[in-house]
Structure formats: structure tokens, C-alpha cells
Copies of this chain bind each other. A is one copy, B any other.
Amino acid sequence: MDTADAPEGELKVSAPHRELLDQVLDKWSLSILNELCERPCRFNDLRRCIPAVTQKSLTATLRRLERNGIVERVLLSSRPVAVEYRITPLGKTLRHPVDVLLDWAATHMPEIQRARRTFDLTET
């Protein structure tokens, strides 16, 4: 009843929300979140689990997530340097929305690909 034809217009997307989503749903965040939800990971663990990411992007994304309180950076030992990244309680709350989103993507991908083909054929 709430999803079909509920009172519309409940959610306006404000600039701060937009910015937050950009920081938290960017190119690599979802993959990182996915890994850290299963277990704490070292930096190079993440690199192995997400082979396509570069050092630079991984560092940047982790910093951004850390700044937003989504992940936690834990220094394990200083010589040689060892660092572990963990999901925070706040980070865990992000899992459900993301799952719903990915579920949607998985469910409707075929339909979307059909739409794309139709569009690409029609508009030439």
C-alpha cells in the first residue's frame, strides 16, 4: 500500500543528500562495503578482492568512507605497518539500502537491456 500509490512527494533530494550519496555510492564504495561487511580487511586484502581498483582510488575511497563514518581504520602494528579496515555500526546500516538497490538492478537488468536495445535501434 505504501509502495504502489502512496502519498507521493515524500522525499525531495537535497544538495547535502546528493553529496552524501555521491560519496557513498561512488565507483568502488559498494565493492569495498561488500568485502568489509563480511570481515575486516587489510589494505592489500581489499586490493586482491577488488583487482580492478588502483592503489590511489582505493586509498581515496577508504578515506572518504572513513570520513563519513562508514568504515574504521585500525592500526594493528607500526613496524612493519599493518592496517585493518572495518565496517562501523553506521556502515552496517548502509548495507540494507544498498542491497535493495542491487537487488533491483539484478531483478530488472533483463528488462533494462531490452529497453536499451529497443532504444538504440529506434533512434539511429
Contacts and interface: CB of A to CB of B under 8 A. Distances in A.
Interface residues of A, number: 51
Interface string A24-46: 01010011001001100000000
B21 A34 contact: no
A105 B9 CA distance: 16
B69 A99 contact: no
Nearest to A27: B18
A68 B8 CA distance: 23
Given A21-B101, A30-B13, A103-B11, A115 B96 contact: no
Interface of A: 3, 5-6, 8-13, 16-18, 20-22, 25, 27, 30-31, 34, 37-38, 66-69, 90, 93-109, 111-112, 114-116, 119-120
20 contacts: A5-B96, A9-B34, A10-B99, A11-B34, A11-B102, A11-B106, A12-B34, A13-B31, A17-B106, A20-B105, A20-B112, A22-B27, A66-B119, A67-B119, A69-B112, A69-B115, A69-B116, A93-B104, A97-B97, A97-B101
